[in-house]
């Protein structure tokens, strides 16, 4: 039987090493015993941007990027998106199982109970300028929650963790909606007990006056589905930030704010906003070939295309494209859809994109749907952050109870000066 080991010969010394292979990986610290002389630090791996490094074991989300597979706790994303609610999926992410009917009722009740925010938090949001980006408000407000719940710092206590998880899942839609209304100068709408999670969020966003907000069920269902698709995506940039920051044992509000900050970037969750701005910039279908030419010449990127892991198709994008048809039937077609479809058509036939395995990702069409639903473009990253909070917290919890995890602290290859002596100010040139 083949041995589950890797044999290495160090040609500097002629020495041979046997390194165990477990789960298709070698433990990087095993390489430390490979030394040129006993004083050596030992061999390290160099992997900027973690192209080929597993930083943890995780049982939450499985992705096969070549086959376009995404599963939460073993369930294919397509099945969850078709049949579940976001809160059912959040339960699955935290507790490893889909809830029974009584468990779901209990879970929904707990989340609802935490949907209100303290008056002082409302005043904090008031303090932002009228044109503040809602994601900036969101990040700062989530961080500020740590000052309201100082007991949250006891992150090794399972009951404390459970409490903060419910609080965060419950409060993020309220914070998002308040950030949105603050910009418009509209009075805040508080959560209502008789509304579900998605209905409540929609009502806090769009309700006017005292009339009950009653959007078409197709739109509520579409938003629920979008939240499911965005709930987790294993070790992406923001989840790695959550794990990295959380590994210092800081409270979950501070760690979630850090994760949200990572999500804000245009290469990650900010891409949905960037796609819409790109479509605006293109302006007309006739300008698409010129735009693609510029992208190929290195003058900018085709936003919403490409993925670190998916090199075939993004299964979320497939669900979203179908969803777009259902939503546009209710709202009317987003006029930018024609530009997006033409961009996709040209890019998928073009050698540049084909050879680099660049396909539409989750953000390519999600923004068009959000816009058709009435969400302004700069709230898009916040719409990503609300459901991803479940994924961040599931990973945070998993990291804290994993005995193999310690404070995240990568190594570096030092490229600076060798030791040199201090030069007094009057002798410097
Ligand atoms: N448009 C044009 N060219 C691209 C694009 C794009 N969207 N994405 C990658 N490329 C090119 C790169 O320039 C590079 O070309 P080269 O080999 O000639 O240098 C090649 O494809 C490989 O790309 P990398 O940047 O090495 O791929 P990486 O895995 O590091 O990046 C990323 C992945 C960040 C998603 C990238 O594809 C990108 O910037 N896409 C646009 C932003 C976007 O849509 N982000 C959302 C991702 S999904 C999410 O986070 C929810």
The string of pLDDT tens digits covering residues 284-322 is 999 999 999 999 999 999 999 999 999 888 999 999 989
Mutation test residue for ligand 1: of 236, 306, 344, 358, the one with most atoms within 8 Å of CB: 306
Residue 345, SS3 per DSSP: helix
Q: Nearest CA to 306 among 262, 393, 364, 250?
A: 364
Residue 214, SS3 per DSSP: coil
The arithmetic mean of pLDDT across residues 386-409, rounded, is 98
How far is ligand 1, taken at its centre, from the CA of residue 303, in Å?
A: 8
- Is residue 235's pLDDT more than 80? yes
Helix residue ranges, H only, 303-413:
315-331, 337-349, 351-355, 362-373, 380-400
How far is ligand 1, taken at its centre, from the CA of residue 304, in Å?
A: 9
Catalytic residue among 232, 307, 314, 350: 307
Tens of pLDDT, residue by residue over 112-127, are 999 999 999 999 999 9
How far is ligand 1, taken at its centre, from the CA of residue 213, in Å?
A: 40
Closest ligand 1 atom to Cα of 364: 44
User: For ligand 1, which residues put their CB under 6 angstroms from it?
Assistant: 267-269, 271, 295, 301-308, 356, 358, 361-363
Identify whether the C-beta of residue 165 lies closer than 8 Å to the C-beta of residue 397: yes
- Among protein residues, the one with the nearest Cα to ligand 1's atom 45 is 267
Q: Which two tokens stand for residue 72?
A: 């939460």
Tens of pLDDT, residue by residue over 248-265, are 999 999 999 999 999 999
- The rounded distance, in Å, linking the Cα atoms of 155 and 251 is 6
- The rounded distance, in Å, linking the Cα atoms of 248 and 369 is 38
How far is ligand 1, taken at its centre, from the CA of residue 308, in Å?
A: 7
The answer to whether 363 is a known catalytic residue is yes
Which pLDDT belongs to residue 209?
87
Q: For the residues of 15-62, what is the DSSP string, one character each?
A: EEEEEE-BTTB--GGGGGG--SSTTS-------GGGSS------SSEE
Q: Nearest CA to 70 among 315, 305, 246, 250?
A: 315
Closest ligand 1 atom to Cα of 356: 21
- Is residue 5's pLDDT more than 70? yes
How far is ligand 1, taken at its centre, from the CA of residue 269, in Å?
A: 13
Which pLDDT belongs to residue 312?
85
Q: Which two tokens stand for residue 385?
A: 């952050």
Tens of pLDDT, residue by residue over 31-76, are 999 999 999 999 999 999 999 999 999 999 999 999 999 999 999 9
Which pLDDT belongs to residue 210?
84
- Among protein residues, the one with the nearest Cα to ligand 1's atom 26 is 308
The answer to whether 268 is a known catalytic residue is yes
- Among protein residues, the one with the nearest Cα to ligand 1's atom 8 is 306
- The rounded distance, in Å, linking the Cα atoms of 389 and 169 is 7
Identify whether the C-beta of residue 312 lies closer than 8 Å to the C-beta of residue 67: yes
Helix residue ranges, H only, 114-157:
119-126, 134-148
- The rounded distance, in Å, linking the Cα atoms of 268 and 379 is 15
The answer to whether 233 is a known catalytic residue is no
Identify whether the C-beta of residue 75 lies closer than 8 Å to the C-beta of residue 92: yes
Tens of pLDDT, residue by residue over 86-101, are 999 999 999 999 999 9
The arithmetic mean of pLDDT across residues 206-216, rounded, is 89
How far is ligand 1, taken at its centre, from the CA of residue 305, in Å?
A: 7
The arithmetic mean of pLDDT across residues 269-285, rounded, is 93
The arithmetic mean of pLDDT across residues 142-170, rounded, is 98
Which pLDDT belongs to residue 211?
86
How far is ligand 1, taken at its centre, from the CA of residue 301, in Å?
A: 8
Catalytic residue among 224, 232, 251, 363: 363
- Is residue 138's pLDDT more than 90? yes
- Among protein residues, the one with the nearest Cα to ligand 1's atom 46 is 268
- The rounded distance, in Å, linking the Cα atoms of 247 and 225 is 31
Residue 334's pLDDT band, with cuts at 50, 70 and 90, is confident
Closest ligand 1 atom to Cα of 295: 2
Q: What is the CATH number of domain 78-402?
A: 1.10.580.10
Residue 362, SS3 per DSSP: helix
- Among protein residues, the one with the nearest Cα to ligand 1's atom 39 is 267
Cα 35 to the chain's mean position, in Å? 39
Domain range list for the chain:
78-402
Closest ligand 1 atom to Cα of 306: 37
- Among protein residues, the one with the nearest Cα to ligand 1's atom 15 is 356
Which pLDDT belongs to residue 1?
67
Q: What percent of the chain is predicted at pLDDT more than 70?
A: 100
How far is ligand 1, taken at its centre, from the CA of residue 27, in Å?
A: 29
Which pLDDT belongs to residue 313?
86
- Among protein residues, the one with the nearest Cα to ligand 1's atom 10 is 306
- Among protein residues, the one with the nearest Cα to ligand 1's atom 2 is 301
- The rounded distance, in Å, linking the Cα atoms of 27 and 50 is 15
In degrees and rounded to multiples of 5, residue 17 shows phi and psi of -135, 150
């Amino acid at each position: 039987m083949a041995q589950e080991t890797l044999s290495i010969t160090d040609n500097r010394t002629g020495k041979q090493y046997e390194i165990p292979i477990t789960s298709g990986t070698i433990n990087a610290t095993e390489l430390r015993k490979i030394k040129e002389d006993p004083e050596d630090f030992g061999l390290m791996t160099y992997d900027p941007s973690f192209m080929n490094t597993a930083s943890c074991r995780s049982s939450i989300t499985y992705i096969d990027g070549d086959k376009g597979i995404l599963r939460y706790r073993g369930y294919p994303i397509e099945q969850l998106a078709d049949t579940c609610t976001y809160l059912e999926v959040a339960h699955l992410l935290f507790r490893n199982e889909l809830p029974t009917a009584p468990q779901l009722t209990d879970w929904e009740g707990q989340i609802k109970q935490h949907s209100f925010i303290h008056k002082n938090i409302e005043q904090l949001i008031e303090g932002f300028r009228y044109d503040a980006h809602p994601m900036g408000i969101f990040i700062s407000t989530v961080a500020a929650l740590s000052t309201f719940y100082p007991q949250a710092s006891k992150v090794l206590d399972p009951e404390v963790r459970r409490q903060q998880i419910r609080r965060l899942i419950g409060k993020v839609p309220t914070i998002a909606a308040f950030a949105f209304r603050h910009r418009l100068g509209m009075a805040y709408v508080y959560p209502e007990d008789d509304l579900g999670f998605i209905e409540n969020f929609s009502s806090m966003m769009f309700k006017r006056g005292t009339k009950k907000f009653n959007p078409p069920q197709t739109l509520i269902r579409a938003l629920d589905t979008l939240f499911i698709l965005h709930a987790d995506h294993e070790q992406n940039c923001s989840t790695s930030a959550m794990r990295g920051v959380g590994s210092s044992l800081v409270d979950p509000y501070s760690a979630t704010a850090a994760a949200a900050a990572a999500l804000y970037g245009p290469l990650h969750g900010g891409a949905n906003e960037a796609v819409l701005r790109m479509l605006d910039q293109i302006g007309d279908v006739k300008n698409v070939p010129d735009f693609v030419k510029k992208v190929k010449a290195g003058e900018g990127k085709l936003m919403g295309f490409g993925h670190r892991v998916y090199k075939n198709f993004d299964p979320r994008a497939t669900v979203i494209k179908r969803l777009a048809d259902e939503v546009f039937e209710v709202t009317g077609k987003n006029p930018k859809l024609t530009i997006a479809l033409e961009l996709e058509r040209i890019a998928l036939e073009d050698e540049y994109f084909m050879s680099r395995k660049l396909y539409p990702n989750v953000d390519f069409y999600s923004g068009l749907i959000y816009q058709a639903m009435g969400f302004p473009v700069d709230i898009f990253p916040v719409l990503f952050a609300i459901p991803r909070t479940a994924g961040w917290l599931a990973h945070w919890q998993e990291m804290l109870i994993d005995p193999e995890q310690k404070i995240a602290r990568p190594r570096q290859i030092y490229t600076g000066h060798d030791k040199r002596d201090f030069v007094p100010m009057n002798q410097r040139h």
